[in-house]
Amino acid sequence: MPCCTCPICELCIYTVCVMAMVPCVLQPSTYIYCSFSLSGISAFALLALVLPGNYPYYLDLIHSLSVGPALLSLAKFGIAFPVSYHTLNGIRHLFWDSGKGFKIPEVYRSGYVVIVLSILTSIAAIAYM
């Protein structure tokens, strides 16, 4: 049923439907990205345990690459965001385990909150480093 009598009502309905699907598409793809990223971070951490040399050697190696601050900040964000997102989404799931937030508007709202807070905490972590 049309929501109004405007001549482009079907377009309005289509736009609303597509915008309502954004959290449905964004959440799983973000979760998959974060899962792969955390796996990669864990693999590098385990690899660091068996590589020859020590921490100052690899720190000097990174400094010798002369990467710009923008690329370095992007790399830091790439590490901080999956950790932040995974942690905050875990808290979201704890609320679900307690039986709260199952209505569709609440699910969408909590999804947006998790994404926004993940971005903000990642930026704050980069600014702190």
Q: Which domains does the chain have, with CATH numbers?
A: 28-128 (1.20.1300.10)
State the DSSP code for 11: H
Helix, strand, coil proportions of the chain in percent (round to 5)? 80, 0, 20
- What pTM, to 2 d.p., does this model score? 0.66
Residues ≥6 apart with Cβ < 8 Å to 14: none
State what percent of residues in the chain have pLDDT above 70: 78
CA distance 79 to 41: 7
Q: What is the spatial distance between Cα 67 and Cα 94, in angstroms, rounded to a whole number?
A: 40
Cα distance between residue 81 and residue 40, in whole Å: 13
What is the reported pLDDT for 25?
54
Q: How confident is the model at residue 1 (pLDDT cuts 50, 70, 90)?
A: very low
Each residue of 30-79: pLDDT tens digit? 777 777 778 888 888 888 788 888 878 888 888 888 888 888 889 889 88
Q: Is the pLDDT of residue 18 over 70?
A: no
Q: Measured between alpha carbons, how far is 34 from 32 in angstroms, rounded to an integer? A: 5
